[in-house]
Structure 1
Amino acid sequence: MTSDYGIAAMKARRATAEAATYPETLAALVDGAAAENGDTTLAKWLETGQTISYAEFAEASRKLASSLLAQGIRKGTHVAVMLPNVPAYPLTWVALGRIGAVMIPVNIHYTQQELKFVLTDADAQFLVIDDTALPALDGMAELPPLMDTSRIILHGGTREGTLDWDALLRDGAADFTAPSALSRTDMLNLQYTSGTTGFPKGCMLSHDYWVLLGSLAAHWRGAAGDVRNVLIWAPFNYMDPQWQFLMTMCLGGTAKIAPRISLSRAYDILVEEEIHYCIFPEPALKAWPEGEKDKALHLKYVSIFGWREDARREVERRFGCVARESFGMTEVGGALMVPEAAGEKAFERTCGLPTAFREVRIVDDSGTDVPRGEIGELWVAGRGILWGYYKRPQANAEGFSGRWFRTGDLFRQDDDGFFQIVGRIKDMIRRSGENIAAQEVEAVMNAMPGVIESAAVGVPEPGRGEEVKVYLLLADGKTPADIPPEAVIEHCAGRLAKFKTPRFIAYVDTFPRTVSNKIRKNAILPEGADPRAGSWDRVEGRWLPDEDKDAVAG
């Protein structure tokens, strides 16, 4: 009998998940986990070795909540949090959730201008800030309209006129009770998107969003076996560490929290901390040569995103774990997931099937469902997705069609019912009337031996609209002489249609990235620079001079 690729099993687990009862609020989830796990270690911060148990975490968050309440933070108060990956981050989040206040996560690396934008746009009334981030705050000529020095809570130091986070925690009362009733539909986070292509927008996310996201992540990942130790390496201002922390709670496990990702150190952390689950970066497979030490790993399940087929096979073969793709975004949380029992299907470039509480459609420009196999925009609906974008009526009008959220991502559904991402609508290269997904070109580039990572972009060209250009990051010890442009073009033959084959090729020593390690394509070149200069031109068969702005005519 032909395999159903785990579809039936996933439908059954989806039904189980949708029939389950979930905690009403973030605080209820934390208190339930503390009652069940008590003195079990909830988290360990790898940089300092500090640990905290489930019971200690619940009590500390209640104490902090009582002190924040005494300072005037109430239900609905907007509180910005600008902290690194330290215990204060999740404690502050849960404390605010206990009160019914709204957390605004802020990137610890923001400049003065970026910080002021978010504080002002989010109508922040309080700011919890680490002393290492004070230069960004001090650079402001004046505080945003709703801010005041007396409502700045400083972590990691003291300053006259501000509140001391450590003192607030120390002096709080452990018998805190919320003064206002809370429900699952109350807002918990005003979560800003990364803003790599423009000013970020604040997503209004409820308690239900986070409780479901963490609970369902545990529901799916826990099926892989006894998943207990979870590695969290991205900054807590992003959504991934937040749901991973809640997932760990739901699993009764221990979160091992690193300050940042480091490929050179990550392998040792995976072994020493006996990590069972993490989001695994594909470049690590090339950075770590296969060998006997692979047997020292304890991985049971890893999340992967956009990997090439041979890498998907390699990670499961080398590490004996389950590696599965999924699709989610800040606005909707989780939407698609590849079943654990997908078998050979898991090695294809697919994001899987709708997860619990999610409905999906693929539609054309008019909002009509496209036939299976054709490309269209993915729309998502279901329980707990974002309310909308804060103070963005135009973005809300454009981003929603009734109850459906328009993701801006292009997908197709295959004959087996699985959904495959083709690329972002805004990450499509338009050449002579043909749509080329940058992701498709990058997948072919990344599969080439000696190439660690790539970025495909469109270069304006009068005759064809755009031409494809790729930037290549080579493996350590490799140079363009080892992997010349001619070899790149040869590699594309049989893998890409000729119109998709890059015309321009360039090499980079590093890529500009967001803190979550995504390539910032709009920052690869300085603003106003000619994207063709210094590139190898396939059509002309030569390197273009750095300043030869007119070298390529229509």
Structure 2
Amino acid sequence: MTPAVKPDQAADTPTIPTLTALLAQRAVDAADGEFLRFGDGSWTFAEVDAWTSRLARRLIELDGIEPGDRVAIMLPNVVHWPVTWLAAQKAGAVVVPVNSSYQRADLDFVLRDSGARVVVTDEDHTALVGSVLAGEPGLEGVRILDVADDGSEAFADLAPDVAVEATTLANLQYTSGTTGFPKACMLTQDYWVRLGWLCAAATGLGDDDVLITSQPFSYMDPQWNVALALTVGAPLVMLPRFSASTFIADVRRHRATFFYVLGSMPTLLFKQPHSAEDRDNDVRMVFCSGIPTGLHAQLEERWGAPWREIYGMTETGVDLYTSFEETTTVGSGSLGHPVASKKARIVDPAGHEVAAGEPGELVVSGVPMMSGYWNRPEATAEVLRDGWLHTGDVAVRRPEGGIQLVGRIKDMVRRGGENVACVEVEAVLERDERVVGAAVVAEPDAVLGEEVKAFLQLAPGVPADRETARSILDEAAIQLARFKVPRYVEFVADFPRTPSERVAKPALKARAKQQPGTTHDFAVRRVQP
């Protein structure tokens, strides 16, 4: 098999600078080649190119979309998601991915912050979107496009005459990657094309491969899988959702050769009953962020393919990886080395590089990289300093030169594959009139890595019992996505505080450990695989 991008080409500038141009090229050189597969449907590169051109024209002519306008996508995993993503780019628009599990408060924030002009959604979400648009001043003019009848059939297959260049903004990708309310990373065409290019170089994939993805398309991972599929000219299989009990069967059925998993997914997969068919698959390689070190060798043995770490953030795309030829670090926790277009340092708070084996903050530079945070110059300046992006992750350099994570600076909970900003959950909890104060922390979890725990100080006279906890969480669930709702609740009389009157969370957790109170566990709220 001939790789689409050779390893020694990784640092080169991609030969085609935009996703829209990549799709147009594939529609010429691999017109009948399969591009997207979902459910019982399959679409070739030529068919998707034509569909996206029609939809782009519809967005321009019916919805009045102009270059730079924002188009929000609030859909579950369906073929319309990547089609709309590419169509909006052809129209010169900037896509705003919206988690399909968002409730009113989340959706309202993203639409307001992004300034979206159109929301592309489906029947299951139209009522929620409509109620937000109708009930909030300033959102009345936002249009809704239901993908069940996108109205694109009447338009020509020819792409609209809109200039799309490497520097053109493609996404406002919201992330809770740092402390605070969600911020939108400004991601260009170059960001996505380089990400696909680097992953193609790292894997050696070609047009004989088959990719498969199951994560929600509102997150960056399935999107870079689309960029990778366009880069190598291979089909991408889209699953509706991740299910640990059926994922490997889907991999086998679709004869997938490559997939990416993260967070709790490897552990959940490994906990499934062993089968004589485990090694009966076509998988050649797996990328993973957060391979359980104790399971790493067993994962490879069980499914007969190498698993390798890859590290990146929404802000940076991809930074570190371990090559598939490298076997000595299996099970070591090493993230490997920087990709060809990146540099990485481990620094102390003053910005000085620390010695090997000493912990410090991981900072990275190079491409791909976000252009900054949308409408947040101060936050951009805080994370991007002198050309280096400060990840907030604490790492050490290993004896062989690889990098290993040991912790993080951020006030975050990483629940499975989701990032939860503590301050966002606290703000929702504190809107409840029964709550005087809230402090949200990470609670270790064997499956998801971390769960969300809320310490709550109640107003006088409110009973500190399980029914109160349940009622408060039910109210929060109306405003927050499911994965953000705390699993654990512990009531406290007060909070230890810093001299600046902030809640001292380390002291709070230490006090809870030394003098444990009653912790109410709402395990039914666990994110389902």
**TM-score (norm. length: structure 1):** 0.73
Q: 1:287 aligns with which of 260, 271, 295?
A: 271
Q: Distance in 2 between matches of 1:519 and 1:176?
A: 39
| Correspondence 1:41 to 2:34 | yes
Q: 1:525 aligns with which of 449, 464, 488?
A: 488
Paired position in structure 2 for 1:278: 259
Paired position in structure 1 for 2:125: 133
Task: Give the counterpart letter for 1:70 in structure 2.
Answer: E
Could you list the per-position Cα deviations for residues 98-145 of structure 1 after superposition, in whole angstroms to 9, with x for gaps in the alignment? 122100011111111211110000111222122211232233353452
Paired position in structure 1 for 2:381: 397
Q: Distance in 1 between matches of 2:118 and 2:490?
A: 35
- 1:468-483 aligned within 5 A: 470-472=444-446
Change (3 A) 1:544 1:258: same
Paired position in structure 1 for 2:404: 420
Secondary structure at the counterpart of residue 177 of structure 1:
coil
Do 1:324 and 1:339's aligned partners in 2 also have CA atoms closer than 8 Å?
yes
Task: Give the counterpart letter for 2:75 in structure 1.
Answer: L
- 1:363-378 aligned within 5 A: 363-378=347-362
Paired position in structure 2 for 1:199: 181
Q: Distance in 1 between matches of 2:273 and 2:145?
A: 46
- 1:18-417 aligned within 5 A: 18-19=11-12, 21-46=14-39, 49-71=40-62, 72-140=64-132, 141-143=134-136, 145=138, 147-148=140-141, 151-156=143-148, 164-165=149-150, 167=151, 169-179=152-162, 181-194=163-176, 198-222=180-204, 228-280=209-261, 281-417=265-401
Paired position in structure 2 for 1:160: none
Could you list the per-position Cα deviations for residues 277-318 of structure 1 after superposition, in whole angstroms to 9, with x for gaps in the alignment? 112422234322334211322211112222233311112212
Long gaps (5+) in structure 1: 1-11, 157-163, 429-437, 447-454, 458-466, 475-513, 548-554
Do 1:227 and 1:276's aligned partners in 2 also have CA atoms closer than 8 Å?
no
Change (3 A) 1:144 1:212: farther
Could you list the per-position Cα deviations for residues 194-252 of structure 1 after superposition, in whole angstroms to 9, with x for gaps in the alignment? 479642100000000001111221221226x8861211101111000000122122222
* 1:347 positional shift: 2.7
Long gaps (5+) in structure 2: 423-440, 449-476, 494-504, 521-529
Q: Distance in 1 between matches of 2:490 and 2:372?
A: 32
Do 1:378 and 1:406's aligned partners in 2 also have CA atoms closer than 8 Å?
yes
Q: Distance in 1 between matches of 2:316 and 2:443?
A: 32
Q: Quick check: which has more Rg, 1 or 2?
A: 1
Q: Distance in 1 between matches of 2:57 and 2:442?
A: 57
Change (3 A) 1:538 1:238: closer
Secondary structure at the counterpart of residue 171 of structure 1:
coil
Do 2:70 and 2:118's aligned partners in 1 also have CA atoms closer than 8 Å?
yes
Change (3 A) 1:174 1:313: same
Change (3 A) 1:273 1:469: closer
Change (3 A) 1:375 1:56: same
Secondary structure at the counterpart of residue 62 of structure 1:
helix
* 1:407 positional shift: 0.8
* 1:383 positional shift: 2.5
Change (3 A) 1:396 1:144: farther
Do 1:65 and 1:172's aligned partners in 2 also have CA atoms closer than 8 Å?
no
Q: Distance in 1 between matches of 2:318 and 2:251?
A: 25
* 1:50 positional shift: 1.2
* 1:520 positional shift: 5.9
Q: Which has the higher contact order (CA 8 A, sep 6+)?
A: 2
Q: Distance in 2 between matches of 1:252 and 1:546?
A: 52
Greater mean deviation of Cα atoms: 276-285 or 351-360: 276-285
Do 1:110 and 1:136's aligned partners in 2 also have CA atoms closer than 8 Å?
no
Secondary structure at the counterpart of residue 385 of structure 1:
coil
* 1:406 positional shift: 0.9
Percent identity of paired positions between Structure 1 and Structure 2:
33
Do 2:72 and 2:120's aligned partners in 1 also have CA atoms closer than 8 Å?
yes
* 1:544 positional shift: 6.4
* 1:147 positional shift: 4.8
Q: Distance in 1 between matches of 2:57 and 2:447?
A: 50
- 1:537-548 aligned within 5 A: none
Change (3 A) 1:17 1:545: closer
Do 1:325 and 1:337's aligned partners in 2 also have CA atoms closer than 8 Å?
yes
Do 2:14 and 2:193's aligned partners in 1 also have CA atoms closer than 8 Å?
no
Q: Distance in 1 between matches of 2:43 and 2:8?
A: 35
